[in-house]
Structure 1
Amino acid sequence: MANTLGLDLGTSSLKALIVDETQAPVATVSVPLSVERPHFGWSEQDPASWIAACREALARLKAENPAAVAAVAGIGLSGHMHGATLLGAGDEVLRPCILWNDTRSFREARELDDEEGRAITGNIVFPGFTAPKLLWVLRNEPNIFERVRRVLLPKDYLRLWLTGEAMSEMSDAAGTSWLDTAGRRWSDRMLERTSLSRDQMPGLVEGTEVSGRLRAELAAEWGMPQVVVAGGGGDNAASACGVGVVQPGTGFLSLGTSGVLFTAAERYEPRPETAIHTFCHAIPGTWHQMGVTLSAAASIEWLSTVLKEKPGELTGPLGESCDAPGRAIFLPYLAGERTPHNDADIRGVFVGLEASTDRAAMVRAVLEGVAFSMRDCLEAGGGVGSVSRLVAVGAGSRSGYWLDLMANALRCEIVLPASGDFGAALGAARLGLVAATGADPATVMPEPPTARVFAPRAELEGAFEDAYRRYRTLYPAIRDWSAAS
């Protein structure tokens, strides 16, 4: 029986998951990672810690289940995106990796984010992306920049250690601002704008393709064959593979600290002016669009802190199904907003409070505000009707009320999976399975078993559309107020 190993390099931990040929979990471990913040707005990580975590994870798996490790036939990788890992002539690390949530290169991002940059990459150049980070290093750490032989994304540095190959794949590369996202190749022009060349970039494969084989010394250390290592995927693309979002018209809704609306597409149709991400998918010949609201479950966490009650105690009394939206409106811009406004300075508000507004009304307003912010993400992509079904994941998906609300706000089915691990580590393992066997991705990446389906109700459609229109009118007024304050 052949197993597959998925390695998911997250910001706070590295997770290793072994699944069998039926994709049932066999063994899993997680090793914590730390983030360093030496200055305001900086966020860095030591790449050596990724290797140490991977070595520890595999040592623990081997100690606990050596037979499962020995039966691994393929490895897939997932990782946090946009990180700048700078290597010298001997592949030595030149400085700590600058992470996705590092904002120091905001001036350089603004410089690169012009008509040319958007036309090539299909995206706004955000400060968290990789290219502006290298422009910052050029200007602020020139002695390091002149020694750069390679620039690798975080999971691809782990791959270099695993296989000896400097390779990346399309979904992660699309988040650098160096990729011609339509052509699925490096853009010489965008590299030139950051004083780099294609020689300093890794090779590119699709997420389902073989990127190399496990080095002999590691195979011997872990007691497994020199198995193939798949291209893998950036964390969101790998998560999509984990929940079966691989066919055009499918998508997932993630309600974590931030909210993500991810949809797969067979055509490249960028809309950078809406601040939606248009990236290559980890599946060949496929792209995806991703809208992000920065404060999803974070909005409920904020309210729970104010009211001094746990989030579940706030949402539980609402029941499992929603009514028409209330009069109070909440704009969830607690930390600025990404899609569709790309506005770091905007802040949230309650509007329409009255003497009868009670605790329950405020909770409903917060949940409705986040639902309408996800509707903004949907409209920034294909709009209502572009996707008929979304798989719900994340901590917020535990609230039946919120999922029913989302179904009516987005006017599409929301599917809650049965219990299980369907995250990026499983997606990475599935990509490893395709690379090892040549199987059809659609066959080995099904949607997980369904626990419950939430469908929009025709009798609520008018009320939700009216409430969404009111919600949409508020941002311009708040923007002007924020700019003046």
Structure 2
Amino acid sequence: MRNFHVIGSPCQRSRREAEQKRPQIKRIVIGSRNAGVGMVADIVIGIDAGTSVIKAVAFDLAGKQLAASAVRNRYDTTIDGSATQSLAQTWSDCAEALRGLGDKMDNLAGRTAAVSVTAQGDGTWLVGRDGPVGDAWLWLDARAAPTVSRLVASNKERARFEATGTGLNTCQQGSQMAHMDRYMPELLDQAEVALHCKDWLYLNLTGIRATDPSEASFTFGNFRNRSYDETVIDALGLTHRHDLLPTIIDGTQETHPLSESAAAQTGLLAGTPVSLGYVDMVMTALGAGVYGGAGDIACSTVGSTGVHLRAMPSEQVHLNKEGTGYVICLPVPDIVTQVQTNMAATLNLDWVLGMAADILSEMGHQTDPRDLVSRIETWLAQSRPGQIVYHPYISEAGERGPFVNADARAGFVGLSSNHRFPDLVRAVAEGLGMAMRDCYGAMGPLPSELRLTGGAARSKGLRAILSASLNAPVRVSTRDEAGAAGAAMMAAVAIGAYSDMDACVARWVTPLLGQAEAPDPELVAAYDLLFPAFSASRQGLAPGWQALSAARAAFSKGH
């Protein structure tokens, strides 16, 4: 019978050949650090500490998700633009998520081969001799806006951009540290190291102060050699703060053991290898399919924010003349992602649905905005495409991709008296597609395939809009926790379960990609006509945004 299957039908042979070509997983045996000597370790844990939720997710070595535990993240915002988060609370919540994962899985500690951690990017997490120096400044923090304006006007800015491939904005640690250095130097004076969120968690897990090549190079370094660059540090005016920058380590090549203290707090075993992941943007994209396959592949995460990436060799990076976007290394030799990010994506849909819920509540119909999500498809069907321009700049921090403007705000262009609520919903959804097209256009030609993850991926109508906006087929990954998976993939390579990241992608990512959904030709034609209106009005509104910002500031001072 076995021989029959080997030489049987073409379909049977192709399945057997595909299985034989699949990367083989190496067997990981735990030594005496665990209670069961010689026990097979078959789990990798990925930690993804996002802005909304901190997750701990268990995967088997073949990439199957086994269980997940989550703790809601907490941060504070104020009217001056600050967005801060407690370092101690963040570590406590991370440890709680890991303990919660242990509650869901028998003998999690004994079965864990490795742990990896990724987290929200940018921001500034200062640590001194005795622990945290105040609360972290998050990527949402807008206080560094005047410093960004000053630095962008410098004659050193283009050299900084050419090295990092990354435009300056208020989110970044470099901008925030430069702002602190001028206006709050005591914060940096008390610090011994400047970390990012995942670096802070790694310090608590292992006792090691370090950062990864992705955040190090797009903030303070050069994406070509993945090292710090003195030209960049000088352009930020931070040469005298160089000693605050931590050592750079690559989590696919180097791990550190889980400390005794961290083991006691997480329920895992001391000595478990811990890998420092790359920033969450590229970990999510890696887990969702940005790398692997033929053609010019792009990957967008369209959730609360919009992150648009395409992977390429570093020598093929297209640096735009505006000096915007990011270049972020992947944990693959000489492969980087070129990135543009929208400050707000589905947050715009949350806003328009929230407006409807508020009106219904005023009329005595209590409705949660989440209850209205199911009606989006109906509203899209009740409206015509390409009739109204909507700029999705709903964030209080303005926009950062493909242009940087802290004054940018959302708005409709082209409303008339015959437009109704379904038309507004469609315009908001189309605004997400136009903003995505704007971002990919700043990186070069539009991609030939889009791989999609995030909240928008669940809606057939939204997928159709995004596909037609780029005139590219869309594929959706069935991976639930792409960010945690990307981090776990790094750990799987680091411990030798896979020979390299290509082998891991072939097993963890490619089989989970759905069939390609081709763009609707009629929608493509409509959006080809809509985009010039979107682009022209976006550029024309900039003076109005600036004047409105000044008027609001003057009014606030007067009252």
* TM-score normalised to structure 2 length: 0.79
**What residue in structure 2 maps to residue 125 of structure 1?**
168
Q: Could you tell me how far apart the structure 1 residues matched to 2:123 and 2:223 are?
A: 18
Residue by residue over 1:369-391, the C-alpha shift from the partner in whole angstroms, topping out at 9 and shown as x without a partner, is 2211111011011222xx22222
| 1:46-92 deviation line (CA, Å, top 9, x unaligned) | 2112221232233333344242321111111101112222222x362
Match of 2:248 among 196, 201, 204: 204
Match status 1:411 vs 2:474: no
Q: Which has the larger radius of gyration?
A: 2
**Which residues of 2 match residues 329-368 of structure 1 at below 5 A?**
329-335=389-395, 336-368=398-430
**Which residue in the other structure is 2:444 paired with?**
382
Q: For residue 348 of structure 2, give the secondary structure of its aligned residue in structure 1.
A: helix
Bigger mean CA deviation after superposition, 128-137 or 271-280: 271-280
What residue number does 2:536 align with? 473
Equivalent position of 1:179 in the other structure: 221
Q: Which residue does the alignment assign to 2:194? A: 151
The match for 1:295 is 344
Name structure 2 gaps, 5 residues minimum: 1-39, 361-368, 549-559
Match of residue 283 from structure 2 = 238
Q: State the distance in 2 between where 1:8 and 1:147 align.
A: 29
Residue 45 (structure 1) aligned with residue 85 (structure 2): yes
Q: Give the fraction of aligned pairs with identical amino acids, expressed as a percent.
A: 24
Q: Identify the match of residue 459 of structure 2 among 399, 403, 418.
A: 399
**Deviation at residue 314 of structure 1 after TM alignment:** 4.1
**Corresponding residue SS for 2:170:** coil
Once the 2 structures are TM-superposed, how far is the Cα of residue 184 of structure 1 from its aligned partner?
Answer: 0.9
Tell whether 2:209 aligns with 1:160.
Answer: no
The amino acid that maps onto 1:476 is Q
Closer/same/farther in 2, CA of residues 63 and 350 from structure 1, 3 Å limit = closer
Residue 111 of structure 1 is matched in structure 2 by 150
Deviates more, 1:69-78 or 1:350-359: 350-359
Matches within 5 A, 1:205-354: 205-219=249-263, 222-224=267-269, 226-247=271-292, 249-268=296-315, 269=317, 270-271=319-320, 273=322, 275-308=324-357, 310=369, 311-317=372-378, 325-335=385-395, 336-354=398-416
- TM-score, length-scaled by structure 1: 0.90
Answer yes or no: is the 8 Å Cα contact 2:302–2:346 preserved in 1: yes
Contact 1:274-1:380 at 8 Å conserved across structures: no
Query: Shift of the alpha carbon at 1:6?
Result: 0.7
Supply the RMSD in Å over aligned alpha carbons.
2.6
Shift of 1:120: 2.6
CA contact (8 A) 1:247 1:264 kept: no
Q: 1:319 deviation in Å?
A: 6.7
Distance 2:262 2:53 in 1: 21
Does the C-alpha gap of structure 1 residues 472 and 224 become closer, same or farther in structure 2, counting only changes over 3 Å? same
Which amino acid in the other structure matches residue 412 of structure 2? F
- 1:433-457 deviations in whole A, cap 9, x for unaligned? 1111153212222235244532124
Matched, 1:36 2:76: yes
CA contact (8 A) 1:280 1:286 kept: yes
- Distance, in Å, in 2 between the alignment partners of 1:141 and 1:165 is 27
Distance 1:79 1:182, change over 3 A: same
Paired residues of 1:210 and 1:228 also in contact (CA < 8 A): no
Gaps of 5+ in 1: none
Counterpart code for 1:312? V
Q: Could you say what secondary structure the match of 2:341 adopts?
A: strand
Structure 1 CA distance for aligned equivalents of residues 534 and 162 of structure 2: 31
SS in 1 for 2:510: coil
Identify the match of residue 428 of structure 1 among 487, 490, 504.
487
Rounded to whole Å, the distance in 1 between the matches of 2:257 and 2:83 is 32
CA distance, structure 2, for counterparts of residue 163 and residue 19 of structure 1? 21
**Alpha-carbon distance between aligned partners in 2 of 1:106 and 1:305, rounded to the nearest angstrom:** 29
Tell me by how many angstroms 1:190 deviates: 3.2
| 1:36 shift after superposition | 2.7
